[in-house]
Structure 1
Amino acid sequence: MADVDLRQLTTMIAIAEEGTFSRAASRLGYTQSSVSQHIAALERALGGSVFDRPGGPRPVRITPLGAVVLEQGRELLSKAEALAHAVDRFKAGDGRIDVGTLQSVSNVILPTVLRRLRDEHPNCEIRLSEAEPDDAQIGDLDLLFYDGLISDEAEHVLLMEDPYLVVAHPGDLPAGPVAAEKLDGKAMVAWPATCDQPKLEKFLADAGAQPRIVFRSAGNETILSMVRAGMGLAVLPWLAIHHVVCRSCGAIHGPEGWPDLQVHELDPAPTREIYLHWCPGRGGQSPLAARTIEIAVQVSRELAQQSPLART
């Protein structure tokens, strides 16, 4: 059976459907001798005849062995066609991609990346999942967005530096940039001590500021709600609040009846680094993943031009 190939099965199916070797040869664009050679080779591999040949113009008849081979051969050829189609889709960038992400990337960078990717490849399949904040791994993912380098052997590209900003009630802090040491002793609502948060808190401590953490939450909207409720100020990355900051006034508008929040730059300005990771030989070799990387770099560069860092 190892010597059976798809051309022999294609020839056999053509003969069964056309009734004669000559008509099958005409349909396939082969010579009649080539058709005969294909069937002879198939029968040698199977150890039996697949056709009874009455001779003359009369049509050939399928043998019992041939009926088994014909049924399974059609299924095999169908799978082979599906395989070829899937490979063609993969090469064209219309395959599947599995992407890991984090909250602020999901809010700002990723939607634009996905929209542009789908505009180019409307038939691609995209699967998304959020990375574990304290133990991000590539695993079975093709690409992983993360605010830092991960521990495995993944390749990566730095997408952007994301500056931290202070969010507070109007009047709680002087207008303009805020010196980091001015946050010493202030009540602060913060992220859990995962991802880049420990680095931020160390930065503040090194600058002489030790805010009082009164509440921790992984939800950006929850943190902003607690700031509005007067629980304290917050220090959040620009990407985490980018989508809610008013471009005309620089404030974060609250719901009706709640105060707007003021956004201040920190001096000096700490940043976190947003990376895109992929496994060598997997994501880097997929045309769809490679294109996603290109789009993510482009989108991040465009976004960085709006960042407070671009104005300094």
Structure 2
Amino acid sequence: MDPHLLRTFVAVLEHRSFSHAASTLGYTQSAVSQHIAALEADLGTRLVERRPVSPTAAGARLMEHAPALLLRLDAARADLARLHHARPTRLTLACSPAALNPAVARTLAQLRAAADPLDLHVQILGRETVVQNVLTARADLGLVDGVAAPSDPLPLPDLGPASTLATAEQPLAVLFPDGHPLARRRSVRLTDLSQAQWIDAPDSALPLDRLRAVCRTDGFRPRIRHRGTDLLGLAALAAAGHGLTALPLPLAATLPDVTAVPVAEPRLVHRTELLHAAHPTDTARQLAELLTAGSTEAAPVRLLS
């Protein structure tokens, strides 16, 4: 299966348009049509309905595999490029919003003091983009956060020879507007809130599909959708009554006009994990050691799974 054809296939279905895919990829529309036809001939089945543009049953099945396959190829290319283009005085750390906490900031100051000169870059991104940037060498290390049972790893995808290790586990809290009746509670049970209105904020708060999975319910339906990494904006929406959201308790307690109430049941923690390539630079390895020095994790570094 030619990856160039597969990349065209993904672009066509993401844009639902041959012409938009051509513009994005820098091809002519005729070339895009030829790519799709060649991929269909290779696989022996029709993949894309032309009018309107949509996947066939086979195309939908292929789309379940294609993005991960292309990312894995990009990760392999990036891993080889690191052998010849590593820049020892440059370090890029990618973080999901709730993963960049005061402890991480202090650790970066330690690194700067020990590794002067250092060209340090910090990226605040959605969780999926953090993983992608580390695997494709746009970042040297990543910090991703999520919800899990105590000491359980985050459910990260299998994307090859990259390693993760926990750096922190913190209590989970739900944000209520100040004055909300439940804001006076000492703790809450998530299952009691499954039918409440929630804010869908997958890049900054805990994704609602993850809450549905851990609580084994089809609740946690969004009233409003928040896209981006702005935690203050998210708190403002919660304070105005647009819906509930869940964040780590230490972070939630610092946000204005909301009350953070700890989650008592189910037994969950907000977990942050460090992600790095299998062969990090010396500076990246030094930062990884500093970030995990205070971790209570006894388990060894694991492959993404």
Q: Place the TM-score, normalised by the shorter chain, in its bin.
A: 0.5 to 0.7
Cross-structure match for 1:95 = 89
CA contact 2:100–2:143 (8 Å) conserved in 1: no
- Displacement, 1:131? 4.5
Distance 2:107 2:204 in 1: 26
Cross-structure match for 2:235 = 224
Ranges in structure 2 where 5+ consecutive residues have no aligned partner: 1-85, 146-153, 297-305
CA contact 2:173–2:262 (8 Å) conserved in 1: yes
- Displacement, 1:139? 1.2
- 4+ residue runs of structure 1 moved beyond 4 angstroms? 193-196
User: 1:137-152 counterparts in 2 under 5 A?
Assistant: 137=132, 138-140=135-137, 141-147=139-145, 148=154, 149-150=156-157, 151-152=159-160
Is 1:176 the equivalent of 2:182?
A: no
Equivalent position to 1:203, from 214, 230, 250: 214
Cross-structure match for 1:233 = 244
- Displacement, 1:182? 1.5
- Displacement, 1:100? 2.0
CA contact 1:118–1:124 (8 Å) conserved in 2: yes
- Displacement, 1:133? 3.1
CA contact 2:169–2:270 (8 Å) conserved in 1: yes
Relative to structure 1, is the Cα distance of residues 209 and 167 closer, same or farther in structure 2, using a 3 angstrom cutoff? farther
Find the residue that maps to 2:199 and give its secondary structure: strand
Distance 1:243 1:132 in 2: 17
Between Structure 1 and Structure 2, how many residues are aligned? 193
Find the residue that maps to 1:181 and give its secondary structure: helix
Find the residue that maps to 1:261 and give its secondary structure: strand
CA contact 1:108–1:243 (8 Å) conserved in 2: no
- Displacement, 1:299? 5.3
TM-score by length of 2: 0.54
Ranges in structure 1 where 5+ consecutive residues have no aligned partner: 1-89, 247-251, 255-259, 302-312
TM-score by length of 1: 0.53
User: 1:275-290 counterparts in 2 under 5 A?
Assistant: 275-281=273-279, 283=280, 286-290=281-285
Is 1:157 the equivalent of 2:151?
A: no
Q: What is the aligned-residue RMSD (CA, Å)?
A: 3.2
Cross-structure match for 1:117 = 111
- Displacement, 1:107? 4.0
CA contact 1:188–1:233 (8 Å) conserved in 2: yes
Relative to structure 1, is the Cα distance of residues 182 and 209 closer, same or farther in structure 2, using a 3 angstrom cutoff? farther
Determine what percentage of the aligned residue pairs are the same residue: 17
Distance 1:178 1:244 in 2: 15
- Displacement, 1:243? 4.1
- Displacement, 1:114? 0.9
Find the residue that maps to 1:269 and give its secondary structure: coil
Relative to structure 1, is the Cα distance of residues 188 and 172 closer, same or farther in structure 2, using a 3 angstrom cutoff? farther
Cross-structure match for 2:200 = 190
CA contact 1:103–1:130 (8 Å) conserved in 2: yes
Equivalent position to 2:98, from 96, 104, 112: 104
Per-residue deviation, residues 251-287 of structure 1 (Å, max 9, x unmatched): x543xxxxx5242323223234322122223x1xx33
Cross-structure match for 2:261 = 263
Larger radius of gyration: 1
CA contact 1:164–1:269 (8 Å) conserved in 2: no
